[in-house]
Amino acid sequence: MSERKPIESWLTDMDGVLIHEGVPIPGADAFIKKLRDSEKPFLVLTNNSIYTARDLHARLRRMGLDVPVENIWTSALATAKFLDDQRPGGTAYVIGEAGLTTALHDIGYVLTDHEPDYVVLGETRTYSFEAMTQAVRLIRGGARFIATNPDETGPSTEGPLPATGAVAALITKATGKQPYFAGKPNPLMMRTGLNAIGAHSESSAMIGDRMDTDVLAGLEAGMQTFLVLTGLTTPEEVERYPYRPSKIVDSIADLVDRI
């Protein structure tokens, strides 16, 4: 195998890598500080489209992790970038929270339920039956179906919650239309993120806690991949996949010296 280039930029998932149920994972603060001190390009990524980058900056800062707004990349931002490239100045019917609606407003999209170009499905705390019914009717009427991410469940202190992928499956069943998912594991989210910080995949690394989203997306985008064991994946589960991360480490603390 050819030698990989030194890692000059880092992308890291947030939940399960830097934080877990609202608490920083040991070593996360040292990792972010070292990245900022090194002035290497980096991004903190999340498939969750509920919050704006500004919201996440404030939430992380309260936990002791000082991540600048411009270093946060969400599936909502990736979705907005995709739509802006595909159909600038378009219209959309949106099921989602401020992270998604703000991202679409920022690219000049008009949010409407009258013959929209797209139905855009994101994460929300309360999935409304009326909103899902409207989405089904609009898609059957010709609107294109986009979803921020395929995650079927999300974490909470009480246990798993239905997430975007599960609701997308309901709408698909009712319409016969599959959505285009903009978030991980779509390498599009990685490539648009890398472009945003002026980085190149061949000298970049992706850190994640999930094989089916983080590692797969990094692999398909051409990056080195690191799997941490502080989230959802166990070492035994890695062997079930037809692909492997470049390296498995116990936690983000093990990567501080790699920067």
Q: Which residues are catalytic?
A: 13, 15
Parallel/antiparallel/unpaired status of strands 23-24 and 19-20: antiparallel
CA distance 25 to 122: 27
CA distance 171 to 163: 13
Classify burial at 32, counting beta carbons within 10 Å of its beta carbon; exposed 0-12, middle 13-18, buried 19 or more: buried
CA distance 95 to 131: 7
CA distance 81 to 190: 12
φ, ψ of residue 58 to 5 degrees: the values are -65, -40
